[in-house]
Amino acid sequence: MSIKVFIVSDSTGDTADKVVTAALRQFDEQGIITEIFSRVRTDDEIESIIDRAVDANALVVHTMVDAQKRGLLQHRCSEVDLDELDLIGPLMGKLASHLGAEAKAEPGGLYSVNAEYFRRIEAVEFAVKNDDGQHPRNLRKADIVLVGISRTSKTPLSTYLAQRGYKVANVPLVMGIEPPRELFKIDQEKIFALSIDAPALFRIRQSRLQSLGMPADTAYGVQDHIIKEIEYAKQIFEANPHWPQIDVTDRAIEETAAELFSLRKKTSAT
């Protein structure tokens, strides 16, 4: 004799299906049949499922996050003497009690979390692919474009922002090399100019040279050369007044990001 388990959900039903499958593995009984009813959102759908469950004498296992629909399903099961098991309601109730907050009751919450996760993964991949001026044609696809001379935190800031779901590209400013023309063809309001003072940059570059085992008098770390680079960047920034400037001198990445978000919010509001 076969036994039926009806899995009812206002989302995909995958969560309940996994739990039921795990539980069934603890039994040798081979005559158990599961049937999934996903995206159940109306009273009529619930009534139809109840009718079928009565005919099959099924156990009804459900993950209905909508309290009204969950209550209706439980009430109807009780009326027709059907066994039902709520897999999510009690847990949501306990969490609400401990957190002191009401549940959002949004069907498919797991999948919205997954969508956000994959959006961030895509953003990180974009930042890696478009680091240090690579693929300038992709600048138009970026949410944020960072511009600055070497060691102004472009890459770590790009990574930090990408981990929050923003597609970020960064473009280095190098004396003697024109910035890519694509930089001036995209929406200028998504470009942010990173600046730094000479003494701080000198310390950072000297430390970098030491870690690489390179001579301290390499042009990259010479103070006069650094001052010229900063002046070169300043000229480009002044020629592009739409680019908000952020001074990264002695700032943590989190502080720089906070100012960027503040400037971005002001720009979008105007």
Query: For residue range 98-114, what is the model confidence (pLDDT) as tens digits?
Result: 888 877 766 666 555 56
pLDDT at 269 > cutoff 70: no
Which residue blocks in 163-249 are alpha helix, DSSP H?
198-212, 223-239
Residues with Cβ within 8 Å of residue 193, at least 6 apart in sequence = 147, 148, 233, 236, 237, 240, 243, 244, 245, 246
Same domain, 124 and 74: no
Q: Specify whether 46 is located in the same domain as 96.
A: yes
* Residue 118 confidence (pLDDT): 83
**Domain stop point among 63, 88, 107:** 107
User: Do 84 and 153 have their domain in common?
Assistant: no
**Nearby residues of 196 by Cβ (< 8 Å), 6 or more positions away:** 148, 149, 151, 152, 204, 230, 247, 248, 249
Within this chain, do residues 256 and 128 fall inside the same structural domain, yes or no?
Answer: yes
Q: What is the pLDDT of residue 106?
A: 67
- Domain that includes residue 187, residue range: 115-269
Report residue 25's pLDDT band, with 50, 70 and 90 as the boundaries: confident
Assess whether 158 and 179 both reside in one domain. yes
Strand 191-195 to 144-148 pairing: parallel
Q: Which of 48, 74, 107 is the last residue of a domain?
A: 107
Unique residue bearing structure tokens 């498919």:
108
Mean pLDDT of the residues in the chain? 92
Q: Are residues 88 and 166 in the same domain?
A: no
Q: How many whole angstroms separate alpha carbon 130 and alpha carbon 222?
A: 28
Residue-by-residue DSSP string for 84-149: EEESSHHHHHHHHHHHTS-----TTHHHHHHHHHHHHHHHHHHHHHTGGG--GGGGGG-SEEEEES
CA nearest neighbour of 37 among 56, 61, 18: 61
Q: Indicate whether 16 and 58 sit together in one domain.
A: yes
In terms of domains, do 103 and 16 share one?
A: yes
Are 45 and 75 contained in the same domain? yes
Predicted local distance difference test score (pLDDT) of residue 126: 96
Burial 127-136 (b: 16+ CB within 10 A, else e): beebbebeeb
pLDDT single digits (tens) 206-260? 988 888 898 887 888 889 999 999 999 999 999 999 999 999 999 999 999 999 9
pLDDT at residue number 225:
93
Cα 79 to its chain centre, rounded Å, is: 44
Confidence check: pLDDT of 170 > 90: yes
Tokens of 269: 């509001």
Is residue 144 domain-shared with residue 54, that is, in the same domain?
no
Beta-carbon contacts of 260 under 8 Å, excluding residues fewer than 6 positions away, are 144, 157, 161, 192, 244, 246
Claim to verify: residue 136 and residue 94 sit in the same structural domain? no
Going across the sheet that includes 3-9, the strands are: 32-37, 3-9, 59-63, 84-86
In this prediction, residue 12 has a pLDDT band, given cuts at 50, 70 and 90, of confident
C-alpha closest to that of 229 among 114, 171, 110, 149: 149
| φ, ψ of residue 94 in degrees (nearest 5) | -65, -45
* Domain-ending residue, one of 107, 133, 148: 107
Count: domains in the chain: 2
Is residue 30 over pLDDT 60? Answer: yes
Q: How large is the average pLDDT for residues 163-181? A: 96
| pLDDT given for residue 119 in this prediction | 87
Angstrom distance (rounded) from CA 206 to CA 214: 9
Evaluate if residue 153 carries a pLDDT over 80. Answer: yes
Tokens for 148, please give them. Answer: 């600055």
pLDDT tens for each residue of 55-85: 999 999 999 999 999 999 999 999 999 999 9
Q: How far apart are CA 7 and CA 18, in angstroms?
A: 10
- Note whether 19 and 65 are same-domain residues: yes
